[in-house]
Amino acid sequence: MSEEARKKAMDELVAKFAGEKADPYKNYVQGEGLDILDAQYVRNLRKVPLKPWARRGGNAAYLNHDASKSSNDCYVMEIEPGAMLKPHRQMFEEMIFVLDGRGSTKVWNNAGKSLTFEWKAGAIFGIPLNCWHQHFNGSGSAPVRYIAVTNAPPVINLYKNLDFVFSNPFEFTERFNGEPDYFAAKNDRELWTIRTNFIPDAVNLPLAIAHERGAGGQHLRFNLANSSQQGHLSQFPVQTYKKAHAHGPGAHVVILSGEGYSLCWNDGLENKPDRFDWEVGTLIVPRDGVYHQHFNTGPQPARYLAFRTGASGAKNAQGVVKCFYSKRIGGHQLDYADESQEFRRMFEEALARHNLKPAMDAAYEKELETLPPAGE
Ligand SMILES: [Fe+2]
């Protein structure tokens, strides 16, 4: 088939689905007077241009990915120096990462249960479902900027009624009832999971060892405010890269430290990857089902945060997330042994700019201990 014929066939498909592009969620964002920017790759969240948001009292922009309509979204919010946002409640869940500044948040319900906690850049916390909350900038001279990942799109598209979503009196007291230690920085851990609603410093929090993702990786998973959303932190050493994997949409990856790049490609098209160079503050949201791989090319460990839906990782019958095990046995993780040699050459070239060389041999050998035979 010629390039022209392929384009014509795709144009015909686009026309057939055009009527499904609009939805109540997008109408809502437009009605708020805010822009929706493409979330697949944002070089620096600190530089995203924002507009005033009357409902909330700050400045904001929405970032949407390919499948946000049915999964999740994110927005960037700025609170001006000395300012506060308006009290707010919403019938969807929200996870927050503070990019810049310091401040506090008050959370309360109609029964009069109220808590206030302080945070600064690097903090992560969750807003309990439909609780009143208000954010305050603690500085008179510097703005606060945070990123929030929410499941507003499926909620707004389901109920199609903003009064229901933003003025709903229902209290989920099983999720929040003013427990005094609710936003305490707990260190209650089990294997790869930390049980807490508040992480004061995600950049420096010690993580757990996770060989499954390759090359000395570290990992820590969390679930904030009894939400259906999930998050994790991952770190990988200098001169290394992680194994590639694929999963469902809506994993919002924010680079917390280090420098490098990520490759994204459709399965079978690894000869045509998209390359996204990153720095501290970059956001990458791999598209639905797309293979992606993160490479550390800088002189220090690379760490990222991922905010995602609880359903973004398909699981096998035993409950294991498929992107944690080999494609050779039906998983969604590509073994080093099966990756493109061109990727290795590209990594070597990128490291050379810092006079560094790949330190991957130990990871390649370690993989062989458990690598299933090809074609099994
Ligand atoms: Fe991923």
pLDDT of residue 339: 95
Q: How far is the CA of 181 from the centre of ligand 1 (A)?
A: 32
Separation of alpha carbons 172 and 110, rounded Å = 11
Give ∠ CA 337-343-344 in degrees, rounded to 5. Answer: 70
Are 24-166 and 188-368 in the same CATH fold? yes
Q: How far is the CA of 252 from the centre of ligand 1 (A)?
A: 9
Q: How far is the CA of 247 from the centre of ligand 1 (A)?
A: 6
Q: How far is the CA of 148 from the centre of ligand 1 (A)?
A: 18
Q: How far is the CA of 350 from the centre of ligand 1 (A)?
A: 22
Burial of 22 (0-12, 13-18, 19+ CB in 10 A): exposed
pTM above 0.75, yes or no: yes
What are the start-end ranges of the H helices in the chain? 3-17, 24-31, 152-159, 162-166, 341-352, 361-368
Q: How far is the CA of 339 from the centre of ligand 1 (A)?
A: 16
Would you state the structure tokens that stand for residue 356, as one six-digit string? 């560094």
Q: How far is the CA of 233 from the centre of ligand 1 (A)?
A: 11
- 198-199 and 208-209 strand pairing: unpaired
Contact 211, 368 (CB under 8 A): no
Q: How far is the CA of 155 from the centre of ligand 1 (A)?
A: 24
pLDDT of residue 111: 87
pLDDT of residue 61: 98
Quickly name the fold that domain 188-368 has. Answer: Jelly Rolls (2.60.120)
Q: How far is the CA of 41 from the centre of ligand 1 (A)?
A: 14
- 58-64 and 132-137 strand pairing: unpaired
Would you state the structure tokens that stand for residue 155, as one six-digit string? 């909620």
Query: Tokens 């770190």 belong to which residue?
Result: 235
Separation of alpha carbons 356 and 30, rounded Å = 47
Quickly name the fold that domain 24-166 has. Answer: Jelly Rolls (2.60.120)
Q: How far is the CA of 281 from the centre of ligand 1 (A)?
A: 17
Q: How far is the CA of 220 from the centre of ligand 1 (A)?
A: 14
Domain positions in the chain are 24-166, 188-368
Q: How far is the CA of 292 from the centre of ligand 1 (A)?
A: 6
Q: How many residues are there in the chain? A: 376
pLDDT under 70: residue ranges of the chain: 312, 376
Q: What is the pLDDT of residues 212-244, one digit of tens each?
A: 788 878 999 999 999 999 999 999 999 999 999
Q: How far is the CA of 217 from the centre of ligand 1 (A)?
A: 14
pLDDT of residue 347: 97
3-class SS of residue 276: strand
Q: How far is the CA of 245 from the centre of ligand 1 (A)?
A: 6
Separation of alpha carbons 341 and 113, rounded Å = 58
